[in-house]
Structure 1
């Protein structure tokens, strides 16, 4: 049975391919309108694809290429003269630039990159379909859409195109990672407020100012975007360094003999799987992974290691002491403060003394506590010689006995679903 996510990816690819084929067909049959302009935009789009950047969550973005393609889709007058390239030529020129820049010669393209190119091409086609027919038919002139009104009209279409791109990207991101659509869309909308707003503004400015400046608007307004890309690359390098630091700290307890080999990584993987099902976005998942990797760092304060590192079986106050000490260590590493806050609350009960749920307890802390206890119990069961499936079932049953106080029922329900392989909570 084909999943909904696979159908979505296939639909995006096939639609983009069909539009590109139609655009290329018209280009071959009728020839390009204003070949110099078409070649200039195609070249800038191809260069933009070559200097792409990767955002958190392995989300690929091509600021310069996307801005140039959007500008071509919204291009009206050029040097005071009307243009007539139309929707299909926009698709053909943008598609040629994207494919030539994104796909290395003689190499099989990465499926994720193919999806990204298809998404960007559909976004450009959407913008062109909204703008070009109205411009070429003279409807804008008849409506006296000039001056500020024309600028607002172009801005509105650019914004709609950006929202279209966010929806397409969220669907593809969900298909690739299993993230909930609402969380994936939230990530894309937050990105739209960052680099996305710069892309939309640049594309809009190029299309508007090309009416007076001609093709000089392309290099003039793409240069600041190139500088912005350099800043994003430095930020990505900082994130990579932070990740390496956290991985190193996470192994400290294993090297010192306080936790079994691979325990921190297993807990982090389980926690991220739970977080995706529970609707956490890319940024929250990254913080969750950091906290899960370093959740045992407080054990280094113990005089004698806990057997098998199984802190989940310790008294509540001892677990809380270890969590607080680990939090203090994390605060000194330069890791985002939310990570230290999550680790500090790892051993706190889910319920208050009056039996009501504690709303201040972070979801990340609830997730890591369940993932940690589950891995510890599975490890102990393995040491007793139990087969892996039996060990997992026994661990789940033991966790359910303490559900509600120590362990969040929602997180346990999702963990049970992951154990069955469907990633959904039990009914």
Structure 2
């Protein structure tokens, strides 16, 4: 059973149980529940993909966290943990349904992860506070509430990071420590804004009642806008790189899909070696653009097999490609990877630690693709044998060992 299925089952059981409990006990402070449920649903409807694999819903997350941390004079009966989970679950479904009907991309695993993390935050907040605590203007109440909010949002962030790291370890074969590091980095950048929004919603509604959500909605919308602009810029960036990569295919210097296959293997190797997301992105771009310099050569390699060219030709093509990439002004690290992507390990990274390991990854990925890719006919075992003969001389031993693991797990183009 995959991690995604486990997360969905856990979230579904949690939500259903909470709904049944809430139905039995009755819904307290229904106008507040309706208002926060509406925010969560709207947040789900306007979610967006901020990276290649995960959707974000900052408004929904902030609203769910805020609802879990209500304590104040304007909320006579703070919501119980079960009610928090039930409102979040029902509102999430209400927000997802229009996206599903419209055929828009949505991810039930991400929504269930959010439900689980909010549930944990609600449990912690209820455990460290009492219903008598209120934002009544005294330090005796304000300080414990502030500390409880901090602990709750940290709990939500920690639980989501742990679940996400486990999911990445299973799906992408990333080392768990590296996956957890990446999840915590995302929390530090994006999660902080959502946590602040949740705290503002909780404190404002507790004191001002339902006048607060419209006021707090402005910074939440600004956060949503900023995230969407970032996501749009990333998509444009990726489209531009892929268009540049296709130029070698159009000109006949690489076979159709060769650059994409090389990039997919390079990404798998980067995942196995635990590279950071920013380095992974640069690695993928470098693998896609590794053949751009061949356009300066006189004739295409037969079948796109650049390994058939002389060492001098390949290194000259790599240098030309790096120079072309540098002219973009924003891909300097990518250019450096491409520049050394044809350096023999013995005369390159083995003696110069400044050469990025990503160059060795691209070198190995390109070699394996040209040995196993379409039209070559070599088996993965035969290709591994050929690459193994070059360990320590042509290829980085660390990268070749990573390739053995990736291929051993059944990697296929």
Aligned equivalent of 1:20: 15
Supply the distance in 2 between the matched residues of 1:273 and 1:116 (Cα, whole angstroms): 22
**Aligned: 1:66 with 2:61:** yes
Deviation of 1:315 after TM superposition, in Å, equals: 4.1
2:96 and 2:106 in contact (8 A); partners too: no
Structure 2 stretches of 5 or more lacking a match? Answer: none
Whole-angstrom CA distance in 2 between matches of 1:51 and 1:146: 36
Q: Give the distance between the partners of 1:32 and 1:234, measured in 2 at CA.
A: 38
Q: Following the alignment from structure 2 to structure 1, what is the Cα–Cα distance between the partners of residues 100 and 220? A: 30
Contact 1:42 1:97 survives alignment (8 Å):
yes
CA distance in 2, matches of 1:136, 1:109: 44
2:407 maps to 419
State the distance in 2 between where 1:378 and 1:118 align: 39
Q: Superposed, which structure 2 residues align to 1:103-122 within 5 Å? A: 103-104=97-98, 113-122=107-116
Give the stretch that moved more between structures: 177-186 or 69-78.
177-186
Kindly indicate whether the alpha-carbon contact (under 8 Å) linking 2:122 and 2:152 is maintained by their aligned counterparts in 1.
no
Q: How does 1:215-226 map to 2 (within 5 A)?
A: 215-226=210-221
What TM-score, normalized to structure 2?
Answer: 0.89
Task: Give the 3 Å change call, closer, same or farther, for CA 218–140 of structure 1 in structure 2.
Answer: closer
Decide which moves more: 395-404 or 38-47. 395-404
| Contact 1:115–1:172 (Cα < 8 Å) also in 2 | no
Change (3 A) 1:17 1:111: farther
Aligned to 2:151: 156
Confirm whether residue 169 of structure 1 aligns to residue 157 of structure 2. Answer: no
1:404 counterpart = 2:392: yes
1:129 maps onto 2:148 in alignment: no
Looking at structure 2, the residues matched to 244 and 102 of structure 1 have their Cα atoms a distance apart, in angstroms, of: 28
Q: Secondary structure at the match of 1:359?
A: coil
Q: Partners of 1:299 and 1:238 in 2: how far apart?
A: 28
- The answer (yes or no) to whether the contact 1:184–1:282 under 8 Å persists in 2 is no
On the 8 A contact 2:7/2:109 being kept in 1, the answer is: yes
* Aligned residue runs from structure 1 range 336-375, under 5 A: 336-352=331-347, 356=350, 358-375=352-369
1:200 aligns with 2:195: yes
Alignment of 1:66-105 (within 5 A): 66-79=61-74, 82-104=76-98
Question: Deviation above 4 Å: which 4+ runs of structure 1?
Answer: 105-112, 137-141
Q: State the distance in 2 between where 1:111 and 1:246 align.
A: 23
Aligned alpha-carbon RMSD (Å):
2.8
- Deviation string 1:99-150 (CA, Å, 9 cap, x unpaired) is 1112338859999722112111111111111112443455899xx8423343
TM-score of the two chains, using structure 1 as the length reference? 0.86
SS of 2:55 mapped into structure 1: strand
